[in-house]
Amino acid sequence: MKKRLRKKLHKSEFRELGFELDYDYTGDLEGELFDQFWGDWIGMIESLGLECGGGGAGHQSYFIIKYRGSVSVEQRQAVIDWLGKHPDIANVTAGQLRDAWYGWE
């Protein structure tokens, strides 16, 4: 496969990795603290050069990616560590880095 096509199809050296993330927000979903948490969450994700898709109410479920390229092991760990330090977060589970484009059944 030619390099141009590999890039277009996110194959080989152009493969992009992301990870699944689940956690429970145990605080008040209607309060000002949740708004503060949400702003801090988005700020932290953006500061790492990442994006997330998903959501939920109390139980949050996301797939974390990098706009261009792959999420690094260090970025994945930074997200987990940040959530682990928050008092209103419980049951954090993060999947391993996986192909963001292929292998979904």
Note the CATH number of domain 15-99.
3.30.70.60
pLDDT at 14: 86
In this structure, the number of other CB atoms found within 10 A of the CB of residue 102 comes to 11
Question: Which pLDDT score, from 0 to 100, does residue 67 have?
Answer: 87
Q: Full-prediction pTM beyond 0.85?
A: yes
Which residues of the chain, if any, have pLDDT below 50?
none
The dihedral built from the CA positions of residue 52, 41, 81 and 26, taken in this order, carries a sign that is: negative
The residue ranges of every structural domain in the chain are: 15-99
| pLDDT of res. 51 | 96
What confidence tens digit (pLDDT) does each residue in 44-53 have?
Answer: 999 999 999 9
